[in-house]
């Protein structure tokens, strides 16, 4: 009688990846642009928010992005329009 292989990386079952690894894969360069720990944390939050928005159906993504930007601008009152446009563009990409 053969013993069952419980290794999750067998040819028939793909290895499970942590969500944090996937976020780092798509946003690592963006996060590394932060020069302080606080900036890096802010960028991680933005990347996580972008991930969550992207996980929704396309017809809901614009509404969620608008809500994110409204909340962001409500907390960051000194954000100028050009910076707000760049943030929105980063979130879309």
d(CA 35, CA 72): 20
**Dmax over Cα atoms in the chain, in whole Å?**
70
Checking if the pLDDT of 58 tops 70, the result is: yes
Per-residue pLDDT, averaged over 40-69, amounts to 94
Question: So what's the pLDDT on residue 75?
Answer: 93
Shortest CA distance to 20 belongs to which of 31, 7, 9? Answer: 31
User: Per the confidence metrics, is the pTM higher than 0.75?
Assistant: no
Q: What is the mean pLDDT of the chain?
A: 87
d(CA 17, CA 70): 33
Checking if the pLDDT of 5 tops 90, the result is: no
């Amino acid at each position: 009688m053969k013993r069952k292989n419980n290794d999750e990386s067998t040819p028939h079952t793909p290895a499970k990846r942590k969500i944090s690894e996937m976020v780092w894969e798509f946003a690592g360069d963006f996060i590394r642009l932060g020069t302080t720990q606080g900036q890096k944390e802010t960028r991680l939050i933005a990347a996580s928010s972008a991930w969550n928005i992207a996980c929704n159906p396309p017809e809901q993504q614009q509404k969620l992005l608008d809500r994110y930007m409204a909340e962001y601008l409500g907390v960051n009152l000194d954000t100028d329009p050009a910076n707000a446009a760049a943030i929105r563009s980063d979130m879309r990409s």
